[in-house]
Amino acid sequence: MLSKNASLKKLNSFGLNVTTKTIFLLTHENQLPELITAVNVAKNNHQPVLILGGGTNILFCENFNGLIIKVELSGIDLVETHDHFFLNVSAGENWHQLVVYATQNNIRGLENLALIPGVVGAAPVQNIGAYGVEFEQICEKVKVIDLITGKLVTLSNKECEFSYRYSIFKTKQMANALITSVTLKLKKNWRPQNSYGALKALGESVTAQQIFTQVCEIRKEKLPDIHVLGNAGSFFKNPIVGETQLSHLLKTYPNVAYYPYKTGEFKLAAAWLIDHAKLKGFQIGGALVHQQHALVLINKGNASPADVLNLAWHVREVVQIKFGVLLEHEVCFINKNGVTTLVKEITRVRSE
């Protein structure tokens, strides 16, 4: 279904009042030929094309000047082998509802990823993760369609080139790829992942249901409901530093929160840095650093895209000056022509 001059206010979790020239609602795979035609029309008219899932990890910096594809493909298929469960899940399925489905059916391994907002098709793009579990650890394969040629391709876990909050789907190589489904591989011989943060207190004999419940409680306590306060979850990535930089930080800030990452590398808690830069509650226009979780920027109800951009830039600058650590945004920035960056957008906004 194709619509013109559509509002995106209800399709982005920040709740920003922006629009798009055209939107295509994709609910069934039999619409793909029609979609490919719409994409080629947009390309021939030199208009950008954007694939939108749940709109929960995105910041529209201004009105979008092209075609947005809203993915609402649905369906979950379960296949069992002796050792594994395989879940083939359509891209438009709600991620948290998938975790609920798995937990209720005694399919374990997703419980640490409860209450992450968004849809399944966005999970491999961002390589989502929480409480010691990353999407790449459970991904078997990803099915995509080339929106120019109509060719269907299945990528293996290795071919997805996963790393921290990154995948091949963020590259120019995959600029015309739309994820239609993912297949998850979950071991029947399950072992709990509860060595991260508050989950440690659950002990060795913990069940998947207990982890699920605890994660939900933690996230509800710390993170604002997107239906009440507009936000995109964790706005910044946890920065990764080497031993030398960490050593320098610890000399001045011995209580800095960090976790081992890879050999010779450590992940700093961005929320700790923002909190100890005394930025909780800092506000620009209608945008605010959340009082309960410093990693979340919120729309109090009347924020403009410029408010959020200026607030993000201020947080970035203050943290860099105080700790010598440069924060990178986890949220995907979109301007009128497509994917952009905070640096580019703050320059544009301040020159207007």
* Residue 7 is among the residues annotated as catalytic for this protein: no
Question: Which H or E run contains 161?
Answer: none
**Which residues on adjacent β-strands are paired with residue 145?**
152, 178
Catalytic hit among 136, 234, 304, 316: 234
Residue 198: phi and psi, rounded to 5, are: -70, -15
Nearest to 289 by CA among 310, 262, 264: 310
Nearest to 263 by CA among 234, 230, 287, 240: 240
Nearest to 60 by CA among 8, 123, 120, 25: 8
* Residue 330 is among the residues annotated as catalytic for this protein: yes
Q: What share of the chain is helix, strand, coil (3-state, %, to 5)?
A: 35, 30, 35
Count of residues making up the chain: 352
**Side-chain half-sphere exposure of 167, counting CA atoms within 13 A:** 26
**What one-character-per-residue DSSP string does 253-292 give?**
-TT--EEE-STTEEEE-HHHHHHHTT-TT-EETTEEE-SS
* Residue 165 is among the residues annotated as catalytic for this protein: yes
CA distance 271 to 343: 21
Residue 252, class by beta-carbon neighbours within 10 Å (0-12 exposed, 13-18 middle, 19+ buried)? exposed
So which residues are the catalytic ones? Answer: 165, 234, 330
